[in-house]
Amino acid sequence: MDLQSERARLILTLRRNGILDQAVLTALEQTPRELFVPETFRRHAYDDSALPIGRGQTISQPFVVALMTEALKLDRRCKVLEVGTGSGYQAAVLSRLSRRVYTVERHKPLLREAESLFRHLDLHNIVTKYGDGATGWQEQAPFDRIIVTAAAMDVPPVLVDQLAVGGRIVVPVGDHDLPQVLLCGTKTEGGLELEEMGDVRFVPLLPGVEADRD
């Protein structure tokens, strides 16, 4: 399989489907998705679809990764919080567009694998934490951008509290068994201004951490 050609084909698909931010497209093109999926699914690494990564989790569809990343409107000054490291793919993309990424994961084995990939790819501006992402990362707040890669029942107030005024948060909202909607919010002095970005499907945002088992 010619992975470079497959990657280029995916970028063309994303562009046709409305992803227009060239910096975002370049970040995805520079991030080898095949490293973030289990070997069993490697031949599907550049399909525009979500794939299982174990522990009941998935690596998101590239279009959704691109859409959420584009909605954040990142620049090299941004300090970003990611809730749900998962495979590490989204964090790797974010790291190419921002100053620093703080990412929290509740499954320690997944976090270990992601950390190994970050080192392999020399992504030194990613800071990881094993913990309950639903509570954010208070010690590092405020954040310029927050991205949540699991579906909450509503925009978590604790995360909004950790967002700087003028900052942006992207979060899927809705029950796991029902259609979910992707929301993008901008924090103002008066509250959070929300915009709907379409239907999505994510695993649920769960509290606490999973027991450390291999």
Catalytic residue set: 60
CA distance 4 to 17: 20
Q: State the greatest distance between any 2 C-alpha atoms of the chain, in Å, as a whole number.
A: 52
3-class SS string, 132-179: CHHHCCHHHCCEEEEEECCEECCCCHHHHHCEEEEEEEEEEECCCCCC
Residue 61 is given by DSSP the state P
**Structure-block tokens of residue 83:** 């809730």
Copy the structure tokens of residue 183.
């929301």
Q: What is the dihedral of CA 28, 152, 145, 90, to 10 degrees?
A: -20
